[in-house]
């Protein structure tokens, strides 16, 4: 193993390859919010000695990354696909301001929704925000494209999106380093550029024109020297593809001529046009939305789209074979496996049992505890996005008849609360429903779903070192909430039903914090609390 590593050849996941590239690029700051399938990038980066930190959410992470890039440093910001929705506000305007140091934003998409609430195709974000996007197809490209992304970002002074997908993030493939060669990072140094970075309308109008000019140049560059490749093959069938789909295509249609696009925005349209003209039948094979297909058709290139049924879920070799054959017959249903469940002994279990028994209308949120929706608890009625439990619960309270409104409870995890529940809590105090409201924070002291990451409420940073600790009860008290209860759902199992009943009976605002460490994290938390003595 060690000899292989010395030779620079190793088996790594796409996430690990991105971290390795960030390290080799001299990234001064890696930041993000945990989210499957992106989480391990920053954890690997930290374990390799890179400066990595978790932000409260993706918007803050991107803002911190923008600051680092304004300072001229290289910054890496990581998140899952829906995280980019949260970060969209800074994203769309940093496209205008541009950057001094390289800024690479990883969007890890989850086609097929292995662990997500939707399967949005974030290639659309590249178009909407006007940012170049690279799409690696394996760990080697995850490494090379991360380095290329920094090179593009610094050449055109524009942030670059690196779009990964589940099967690129979490597949291990062979990585050979050194791969792509990137010039060394420059030291951080503040250079004032007021019209370039202060987006008042007068400065933003020319900034938008600058962005469009950069994208026009990038499109020309992509056609002439972009990271795209053609695999020679029989001209009877040509396939245009990108990312992981390329791998399935090579196996499902080994004799086809293939155009693999690495920079999928702005697209190498003339390359696509020439390729389509060189084959008898030109098919676009892509996971998710018909992104390449629509762009090709808009440019007047005659290409064939996959049948609509293959827009849903992941592609694989078998499905690509069916696309090539034009087969739209129903696909065999996969054998149903065992659904996931809350761990035996999980402290959330007691809370969901009570919510079920009291017939509450539960406005839920994103995390392990979303599993409270499944039997035997069947105790969740809504789950939309991170932090939505509070706002949605308030909307229900405001509009339902009082006897129903009094059954509404918002349930949110600790990490999710910090991510985007705090503004919901402020809304609860600012616009209290006539029947009041009950918020339950399931505080298990970790970001459990994504693999036990720290967050501001744990009082420890990404590398588990002690830092300032956010107190949910103090925060709520400072906002003016009077009914605050902190209960251990295991040690005081009778406390949860008692306090919940009381809270539901009042037309007031109540916060119940069910606090008990996650079983999977409890051992490590105990050790860290002993070894990390606060300064």
Partner 1 sequence: MSPSDMSNNITNVVIAGLGGQGVLKASDILASAVFLAGFDVKKSEIHGMSQRGGSVSSDVRFGKKVFSPMVPPGKADCLVVLSQSQIEVARPMLKAGGALIEPGMIDEARLSNKKSLNVALLGALARHLDLADNLWHAAIQAALPEKLHAANLQAFAIGKGT
Nearer to partner 1, 28 or 322 (CB): 322
Nearer to partner 1, 439 or 462 (CB): 462
Beta bridge partners of 163: 107
Q: Which of 242, 316, 410, 415 is close enough to bind partner 1 by CB under 8 A?
A: 316
If one asks whether residue 115 binds partner 1 (CB under 8 A), the answer comes out as yes
3-class DSSP string for 203-226: HHHHHHHHHHHHHHHHHHHHHHHC
Stretch that binds partner 1, among 232-240, 298-306, 349-357, 366-374 (CB under 8 A): 366-374
Tell me if 343 sits within 8 A of 371, measured CB to CB: no
Using CB under 8 A, which residues numbered 124 to 153 contact partner 1? 138
Per-residue x/- track, 432-451, partner 1 (CB under 8 A): -----------------xxx
Write the DSSP symbol of residue 250: H
Nearer to partner 1, 36 or 222 (CB): 36
Write the DSSP symbol of residue 418: I
- Tell me the closest approach of the beta carbon of residue 415 to partner 1, in angstroms: 15
Per-residue x/- track, 276-315, partner 1 (CB under 8 A): ----------------------------------------
If one asks whether residue 259 binds partner 1 (CB under 8 A), the answer comes out as no
Stretch that binds partner 1, among 44-52, 336-344, 436-444, 501-509 (CB under 8 A): 336-344
Q: Which of 49, 184, 336, 434 is close enough to bind partner 1 by CB under 8 A?
A: 336
Nearer to partner 1, 48 or 475 (CB): 48
Using CB under 8 A, which residues numbered 4 to 23 contact partner 1? 4, 10-11
The SS3 of residue 65 is helix
* C-alpha to C-alpha distances, 182 to 67, 145, 261, 264, 390, nearest whole angstrom: 22, 11, 21, 21, 46
- Tell me the closest approach of the beta carbon of residue 304 to partner 1, in angstroms: 21
Give the strand pairing for 361-363 and 256-261: unpaired
Backbone φ and ψ for 115, nearest 5 degrees, come out as -155, 55
Q: Distance between CA atoms of 410 and 347, rounded to whole angstroms?
A: 17
Per-residue x/- track, 235-254, partner 1 (CB under 8 A): ---------x--xx-xx---
Smallest CA-to-CA distance from 424 within 379, 461, 392 is with 392
Tell me if 33 sits within 8 A of 79, measured CB to CB: yes
If one asks whether residue 271 binds partner 1 (CB under 8 A), the answer comes out as no
- CB-based burial label for 520 (10 Å; 0-12, 13-18, 19+): middle
Tokens representing 127?
A: 């178009």
313-317 LR contacts (CB < 8 Å, sep 24+): 313/111, 313/112, 313/119, 314/111, 314/112, 314/166, 314/167, 314/287, 315/111, 315/244, 315/245, 315/248, 315/285, 315/287, 316/248, 317/248, 317/251, 317/252
Nearer to partner 1, 233 or 497 (CB): 233
Q: How many residues at the interface with partner 1, by CB under 8 A?
A: 42
If one asks whether residue 339 binds partner 1 (CB under 8 A), the answer comes out as yes
If one asks whether residue 329 binds partner 1 (CB under 8 A), the answer comes out as no
Q: What residue ranges bind partner 1 (CB under 8 A)?
A: 1, 4, 10-11, 36-37, 39, 114-115, 138, 166-167, 170-174, 244, 247-248, 250-251, 316-318, 332, 334-343, 368, 370-371, 449-451
């Amino acid at each position: 193993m060690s000899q292989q590593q010395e030779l620079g050849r190793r088996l790594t996941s796409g996430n690990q390859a991105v971290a390795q590239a960030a390290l080799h690029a001299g990234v001064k700051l890696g930041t993000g919010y945990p989210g499957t399938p992106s989480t391990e990038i920053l954890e690997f980066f930290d374990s390799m000695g890179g400066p990595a930190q978790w932000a409260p959410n993706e918007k803050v992470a991107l803002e911190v990354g923008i600051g680092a890039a304004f300072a001229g440093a290289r910054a890496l910001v990581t998140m899952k696909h829906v995280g980019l929705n949260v970060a969209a506000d800074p994203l769309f305007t940093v496209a205008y301001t541009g950057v001094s140091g390289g800024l690479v934003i990883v969007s890890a998409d989850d086609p097929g929704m292995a662990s997500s609430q939707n399967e949005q195709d974030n290639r659309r974000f590249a178009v909407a925000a006007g940012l170049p996007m690279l799409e690696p197809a394996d760990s080697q490209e995850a490494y090379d494209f991360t380095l290329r992304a920094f090179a593009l970002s610094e050449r055109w002074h524009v942030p670059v999106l690196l779009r990964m997908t589940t099967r690129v993030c979490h597949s291990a493939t062979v990585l050979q380093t050194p791969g792509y060669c990137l010039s060394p990072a420059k030291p951080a140094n503040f250079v004032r550029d007021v019209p370039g970075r202060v987006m008042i309308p007068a400065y933003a109008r020319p900034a938008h024109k600058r962005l469009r000019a950069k994208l026009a140049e990038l499109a020309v560059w992509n056609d002439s020297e972009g990271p795209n490749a053609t695999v020679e093959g029989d001209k009877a069938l040509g396939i245009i593809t990108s990312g992981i789909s390329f791998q399935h295509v090579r196996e499902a249609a080994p004799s086809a001529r293939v155009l693999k696009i690495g920079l999928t925005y702005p697209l190498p349209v003339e390359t696509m046009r020439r390729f389509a003209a060189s084959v008898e039948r030109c098919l676009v094979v892509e996971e998710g939305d018909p992104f390449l297909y629509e762009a090709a058709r808009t440019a007047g290139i005659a290409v064939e789209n996959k049948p609509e049924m293959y827009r849903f879920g992941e592609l694989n070799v078998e499905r690509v074979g069916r696309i090539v054959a034009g087969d739209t017959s129903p696909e065999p249903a996969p054998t149903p496996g065992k659904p996931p469940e809350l761990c035996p002994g999980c402290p959330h279990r007691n809370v969901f049992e009570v919510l079920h028994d009291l017939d509450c209308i539960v406005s839920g949120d994103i995390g392990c505890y979303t599993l409270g929706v499944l039997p035997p608890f069947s105790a969740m009625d809504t789950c939309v996005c991170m932090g939505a439990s509070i706002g949605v619960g308030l909307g229900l309270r405001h509009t339902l008849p009082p006897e129903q409104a009094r059954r509404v409870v918002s349930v949110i995890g600790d990490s999710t609360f910090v991510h985007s529940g705090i503004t919901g809590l402020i809304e609860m105090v600012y616009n209290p429903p006539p029947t009041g409201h009950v918020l339950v924070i399931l505080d298990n002291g970790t970001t459990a779903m994504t693999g036990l990451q720290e967050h501001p409420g744990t009082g420890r940073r990404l590398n588990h070192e002690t830092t300032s600790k956010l107190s949910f009860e103090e925060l709520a008290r400072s906002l003016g909430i009077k009914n605050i209860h902190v209960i251990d759902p295991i040690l005081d199992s009778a406390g949860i039903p008692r306090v919940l009943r009381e809270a539901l009976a009042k037309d007031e605002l109540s916060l119940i914090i069910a606090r008990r460490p996650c079983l999977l994290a409890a051992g490590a938390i105990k050790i860290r609390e002993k070894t990390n003595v606060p300064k």
